[in-house]
Amino acid sequence: MKKILIAGMPGVGKSTIFRLLVKTRTTSSNYPGTKISVERGIFKVDGDDVELIDIPGTYGLTHLYVNEVVARKILIEEKPEVIIQVADTKNLKRMLAFTGQLAEFEIPLVLVLNMVDEADQMGLKVKRHILEEKLGTIVIETIATDSVGIAALHSAILKAKVPQFPVKLTPALTEINSSLEEMMSDEIKSRKALVSLCLADASETSEWAIEQGGMKGDKTVAAHREKARLLFHRPLDRVLAEAREYVANKIFHESTFMTPVRSTPLMEKIGDYARGPVSGAVILLIVMIALYYIVGKFAASFVVDFMMNVFFGEIIGTPLNAMVELIPYPFIREMIMGKYGLFTMGLVPSLGLVLPILIAFYFTFGFIEDSGYISRLSILLDRLFKKIGLNGKALLPIMLGFSCVSMATIATRVLETRKERLIAIFLLSLGIPCTAKLSIILVIMAKVSFGAFLTVFGVIFSLMIISGLILSKMLPTDTSQFIMDVPPIRIPSLRNVIKQTYHRSTNFVKEALPLFFAGAISLFVLDKIGFLALLERGMSPVIVGFLGLPERFAESLIMGFIRGEAGVAILQQLVDVGTMNSRQLVVAMIVTILFIPCVTNFLLVIKEHGSKAAFAIIATVSACAILTGGAVNHILNYFNIVY
C-alpha cells in the first residue's frame, strides 16, 4: 500500500489534520525500539487505499533526538509516496527552511499552511500562488481546528510535486556533495538527503546514512566528510541549515506581506492583485495610463499651453514687450526679451514649462507613494530587474529619476552592492529623463502621433534592457537579497500629497529659477562673443549630417549638460519655431532622453564611484545617444517613415 507521511515541526497541527483526513481505522504504536508513538490510518486518494502516517514534530532531521531518528528512518526506509508538510503560517520562514530539508528527499510534497486564522490576526498574508510558483509545488491554506481547507488538501495530494529549493553552497562543498551522490547507485532514492545526512555532525547519523546509501566500508566517504568539515569553522549541520535559511528567507519575503489589521479587505485585495504577475501588469498599465493623462496630457499640453500662450504670452508677454520697447538700449532689450533673454530663456521655460509638469509629477507620484503601491510594484518588477542585474529595490531610485536624476543617483544608495548601484546609475543616466527633459519630451509628444511615441519608447526601453543585460554579465557577480517591507495598501491622504507637492515644488522654484537665469545670461554672452555659432559649426557634421537635426540642437545638448533646463529651453524654441518635421522630432526626443544628465549628476557619480566609473558612464552614454539617434534617423529616412 502506498504511504503518505505527515511531517512538520512540533505543534503545528499535524495530528489535527491527520484525524480530519483519516476518520476511521487508525492504529497507534511505538516505533520499534523507541517510545515514539506513530499513528497510522487508511484513507482514500483517487479511489485507492493509502496509508497516512502521523509522527511527532521535529525541528530538523539530522540530530540524535529520537523523533528525528524516527522521522528520517520513515522517510528513507518506508519511502512515502507523498509528504504532507504541515506548517504554522505564523512562523512560515522557519517552516520553509524545513521544506528545504524535506525537498532533499526528492519526494513530492504538499505544503499545508495551517493556522492561517492566527496568521491573519497578526496581519501576515501569504501570496499562495507566488509561494507555489517559488516552490514548484502545491500550497494549501487550512484552519485545521475549523476543518477549513481540508477538502482542498485532500484533492491536492495528487498534484504534489518535488519542491524546488535552490540552495547555494560553496563550490568546494558542492563538489564534495556531487561526488558523494555519484558514489550511490541510481536505485537509491533520496540521494541528496542521504548526502546531507552523511555529512551530519552526529557520527551515528552519518554512519546510518552511509549504510543506507550502500557505501558501508567505503573509506572515501569518510575522507569526503573530513574534507567538508575542514572547509568551515562551524558545524556542517549549521552551514547547511544556514544555506537553507537563506533561500527560505528569500522565498518568505517574496511570497508574504504584512497588513495592519485595520486595513479593509477590498484594499487588501487590490494590494494582492498589484503583486500578481497578470493582474499586477493590468494595474501597472492602468497606473501608467493615468500618469500619461495627468502628466502627459493635462499638464504637458493643456496647462503648459495656457502658461506659454495665454499667461506668458498675452497676459504678461504683450504688456512686458511694450514696456521693454521703451528702453532706448537695444543691448538691454535683447537681454530681456531676445532669443537668449532673461524672460524668454529664464522665466518662461522654468515657470511655464517645467513647473507645471513638475507639480503634476510630484502630485501623482505622491499619490502612488502614499498608497503603498510602490513596494508592490517593486515585488512585481523584481524578476525583470533581476534579469538586468538589479532587484526590486531599484524601482524607487528609477522612479525618482523622472524628477531629478541627481537625486535618484543619491537614492541608489538603497541598493546593496556596487554592481547594482553602477547598473542603476548607468540606466538612470541613459534612459530616464529628469522632469526638465521629460517636460519638453511630453510637449513634443503631444505634437506627434502615437506611432512616434511607440518608436521613442520602444527604442529607449530596448536599449535599457540590452545595456542592463550586458552590464549584469560584464560586472562581477555580487548578489544581494531583496527584502522589502510591504506597507498596507491604503487610500492616500489628499492633504499629505498636496502638502508634499507644495513643498517639493517651491523648493524647485527657489533652487532652479536662479539657475535658469544664469543659464540665460551665459547663453546670451556666449552668443554675443560668437562661441555658439562656432560650436554649432563644429558639431554640425554630427548634428546635421548624422542626426539630421537643426544646427542649434548642439546648443541644446551642451547647455543641457550644464543644466538640464537650459537645454530644454533651447529645444522648446526649436519646436515652437516649427523647424523640425516629425521624423526629426522623434530623433531629437531619443537623443535628448539618452544624452547624459546634467553636470551635477556627473559630479555626484565621481563622488560616489570615482572618476573612472564616471567618465566611463559619460562616454558610453553619450556614444549610445548619438549612435542610436543616428541609426534611428537613417532607418526612418531609408524606409521613408512619416509620423
Provide the binding-site residues for ligand GTP, judged by CB under 6 A. 8, 10-16, 56-57, 114-115, 117-118, 143-145
Q: Which is nearer to Mg ion, 80 or 317 (CB)?
A: 80
Q: Is 482 helix (H, G, I), strand (E, B) or coil?
A: coil
15 belongs to the binding site for Mg ion (CB under 5 A): yes
Least distance (Å) from Mg ion to the CB of residue 383?
38
Residue whose C-alpha cell reads 507639480 in the numeric block: 359
Least distance (Å) from Mg ion to the CB of residue 419?
47
Least distance (Å) from Mg ion to the CB of residue 14?
5
Q: Which is nearer to ligand GTP, 94 or 297 (CB)?
A: 94
3-state helix, strand, coil in the chain (%, to 5): 70, 10, 25
Residue 317 contact partner, candidates ligand GTP, Mg ion, none, CB within 5 to 8 A by sort of partner: none
Least distance (Å) from ligand GTP to the CB of residue 596?
58
Distances (CA, A) of 504 to 394, 406, 467, 510: 22, 15, 32, 10
Least distance (Å) from ligand GTP to the CB of residue 142?
6
Burial of residue 284 (CB within 10 Å: 0-12, 13-18, 19+) is middle
User: Which grid cell sits at 631?
Assistant: 541609426
Residue 301 contact partner, candidates Mg ion, ligand GTP, none, CB within 5 to 8 A by sort of partner: none
Least distance (Å) from Mg ion to the CB of residue 7?
11
Least distance (Å) from Mg ion to the CB of residue 63?
19
Question: Which residue, judged by CB position, is nearest to Mg ion in the bound state?
Answer: 15
Map 73-88 to HEC letters: HHHHHCCCCEEEEEEE
Residue 551 contact partner, candidates Mg ion, ligand GTP, none, CB within 5 to 8 A by sort of partner: none
Residue 16 contact partner, candidates Mg ion, ligand GTP, none, CB within 5 to 8 A by sort of partner: ligand GTP
Q: Which is nearer to Mg ion, 23 or 219 (CB)?
A: 23
Residue 114 contact partner, candidates Mg ion, ligand GTP, none, CB within 5 to 8 A by sort of partner: ligand GTP
Q: Which is nearer to ligand GTP, 10 or 235 (CB)?
A: 10
Least distance (Å) from ligand GTP to the CB of residue 135?
20
Residue 10 contact partner, candidates ligand GTP, Mg ion, none, CB within 5 to 8 A by sort of partner: ligand GTP
- H-assigned helices in 37-112: 66-77, 92-103
Residue type, position 363, single letter: F
Q: Which is nearer to Mg ion, 61 or 360 (CB)?
A: 61
Tell me the pairing of strands 82-88 and 2-8. parallel
Tell me the pairing of strands 2-8 and 256-258. unpaired
- Name the strand (E) or helix (H) holding 4: strand 2-8
User: Which grid cell sits at 432?
Assistant: 530616464
Question: Which residue, judged by CB position, is nearest to ligand GTP in the bound state?
Answer: 57
Residue 12 contact partner, candidates Mg ion, ligand GTP, none, CB within 5 to 8 A by sort of partner: ligand GTP
Q: Which is nearer to ligand GTP, 11 or 545 (CB)?
A: 11
Least distance (Å) from Mg ion to the CB of residue 70?
13
**Count of CB atoms situated within 10 Å of the CB of 447:** 14
Beta strand residue intervals within 15-80, DSSP E: 26-30, 37-45, 48-54
Residue 214 contact partner, candidates ligand GTP, Mg ion, none, CB within 5 to 8 A by sort of partner: none
Residue 364 contact partner, candidates Mg ion, ligand GTP, none, CB within 5 to 8 A by sort of partner: none
- H-assigned helices in 292-411: 304-305, 317-325, 330-337, 355-370, 373-387, 395-401, 405-411
Binding segment for Mg ion among 15-23, 176-184, 390-398, 478-486 (CB under 5 A)?
Answer: 15-23
Q: Which is nearer to ligand GTP, 128 or 229 (CB)?
A: 128
Backbone torsion region of residue 359, taken as left when φ is above 0, otherwise alpha when ψ lies between -120 and 50, otherwise beta: alpha
Backbone φ and ψ for 351, nearest 5 degrees, come out as -90, -30
Q: Which is nearer to Mg ion, 14 or 90 (CB)?
A: 14
What 621-624 contacts at long range (C-beta under 8 Å, 24+ apart), as own/partner pairs, is 621/426, 621/429, 621/430, 621/594, 621/595, 621/596, 622/595, 622/596, 624/430, 624/463, 624/467, 624/594
Residue 296 contact partner, candidates Mg ion, ligand GTP, none, CB within 5 to 8 A by sort of partner: none
Q: Which is nearer to Mg ion, 14 or 376 (CB)?
A: 14
The CA distance from 200 to 239, in Å, is 10
Least distance (Å) from ligand GTP to the CB of residue 598?
58
Summarize as ranges the residues that interact with Mg ion (CB under 5 A): 14-15
